[in-house]
Amino acid sequence: MYILLATLFFPPTHNAGTENYTFTLARSLIQNGHRVEVVCADKWGLGDSYWNGVMRDEYQGIPVHRIRINWTRAENPNRVLYINSSVERWLEKHLRETRPDLVHVTSAITLGVGILRAPSILGIPLVLTLTDFWFVCPTIQLLRSDGNLCNGEKSAWDCQQCMGANSQLFLGIDSILPDAIRPAFWDKMSRVTPLTKMRGLRGNLLDMSERKQLLKEALSFPDRIFAPSKFVQQKVSQLTSTSVNVLNHGHDLSWVENLGPKTVSDKLRIAYIGQLQPIKGVHVLIDAFQMAEIDTQATLSIFGDLSTRPDYVSKLEKLANDNPSINFRGRFEHDDISDVFSNIDVVVVPSLWYENAPLVIQEAFAAKTPVVATNLGGMAEFIDHELSGLLFSRGDAADLARTLRRLVMNPDLIRHLSEGIPPVKTNDEELMEIENIYRDLLVNSTFISA
């Protein structure tokens, strides 16, 4: 089969969850004898022009078409955040010329809904994997501007207020408007093109009514829609009559064969592994560790890139207050993952948002390492409380402190939780499912060549 994968970004320039998932899928498909190419955005927000061409290169043997777009230079910067006509035209032309058997989209962020419409119009079988909440939430995270969770069932005006809270200009104007006219006023302003280019409104003043309509329509284009968790399935299913099925991600477990027995320590070794940004709740973990007063009985290692959000890292270091039991270890290479997990007794995932299907939970499980996580969304779905891990209340440092203290005071609990960890789905298992889906779709393919 000849498969085109479309996604937001791609390695080596970006290496977050969706990018790595798409890379692993592409590599696995090629290893199974399929022809694969990737289309993604590149130089997002950079360049003198809106459209800066398409660069073709290869990454580890995978052909990649990197569409270089500076969204801030578009005629309507806010509209291209969800519908990008230039991308759609290029992709339609590319599809006609290359004639792939199937298109699989793993994220429409950056490229817009056109990457779904173009293959659908041409009759090319189309698969969509929901790796984010983009179709439900313009901020992608289902978090309101005040930090509270959002259920995704909001009006266009609710979403606009949430986005506008990031702009002092929006807030200033909004504060002097009578309540009765605010929704209609901003709805009209969102379609005034010059305003979409203004600092403070660019990226914040979207035509939310149109966005909701177009994204709901776009969910009717794929032949198959899959979510990596039941939670994501539930949130997106409310927008479309198209069936959304759960297809849990598989994982590269080749490193597990290098994993020896846990090294011995007289202290409980607690770890956080992931991005260092506020939404991940690392500050809650440090507060909890300090509150638990377990410095002489436990250590906390924080793994993550220290350079991405230096302001937040500085805040975390202040919270740590030079506690010798709290160590900022920086990021580690994937080749070192077995060594890292050999020296960890429990992983904490303290995220303040729902998460989709956190990779770190499955990595920990593969290493038979219990997980303590927020009782929320995709985290709670994959952890069986008291069997494979423990759950605590969102953002509640005191609750997490009690949980950490409990682990320190009951050494046998770690062994009990380790024994309850379920098997981790492999890449090969997921690939077999995906290939069967592809074959089923190809039976009814009606590609329009001209």
* DSSP characters over 75-115: SSTTGGGT--HHHHHHHHHHHHHH--SEEEES--TTT-THH
CA dihedral 290, 292, 294, 300 (to 10 degrees): -50
Question: 93-110 burial, b for 16+ CB within 10 Å, e for fewer?
Answer: ebbeeeebbbbbbbbbbb
**Residue-wise over 300-318: b if at least 16 C-beta within 10 A, else e?**
bbbbbebeebeebbebbee
Q: Which residues pair with 391 in a beta bridge?
A: 373
- Check residue 260 and give its pLDDT: 82
What's the distance, CA 302 to chain centroid?
Answer: 20
d(CA 163, CA 361): 31
Say yes or no to pLDDT of 376 above 90.
Answer: yes
The model's pLDDT over 103-114, given as tens digits with 9 standing for 90+, comes to 999 999 999 999
* pLDDT > 50? residue 154: yes
Distance CA 223, CA 205 (A): 32
3-state secondary structure of 372: strand
Taking residues 246-271, report their average pLDDT.
90
As a whole number of angstroms, the distance between CA 352 and CA 393 comes to 10
Q: Please report the pLDDT score of residue 450 as a whole number.
A: 44
* Rounded Cα gap, residues 222 and 235, in angstroms: 17
What is the pLDDT, as a whole number, of residue 282? 97
Provide the pLDDT for residue 99: 94
- Structural domains in the chain, CATH included, are 2-139+208-250+427-442 (3.40.50.2000), 254-419 (3.40.50.2000)
**pLDDT of 445 above 80:** no
Cα 238 from Cα 113, distance rounded (Å): 18
With cut-offs at 50, 70 and 90, classify the pLDDT of residue 447.
low
In this prediction, residue 39 carries a pLDDT of 97
The per-residue pLDDT for 68 is 96
User: Distances in Å between the alpha carbon of 395 and those of 245, 295, 373?
Assistant: 30, 21, 11
Q: Is beta strand 298-303 parallel, antiparallel or unpaired with respect to 326-330?
A: parallel
pLDDT band at 202 (very low <50, low <70, confident <90, very high): very high
* Closest to 227 measured CA to CA, from 105, 355, 130, 356: 130
Q: What is the dihedral of CA 121, 127, 131, 136, to 10 degrees?
A: 50
* Cα angle 96-98-103, degrees, rounded to a multiple of 5: 85
Question: What are the DSSP calls for 216-229, one per residue?
Answer: HHHTTS-SEEEESS
How high is the pLDDT of residue 72? 94
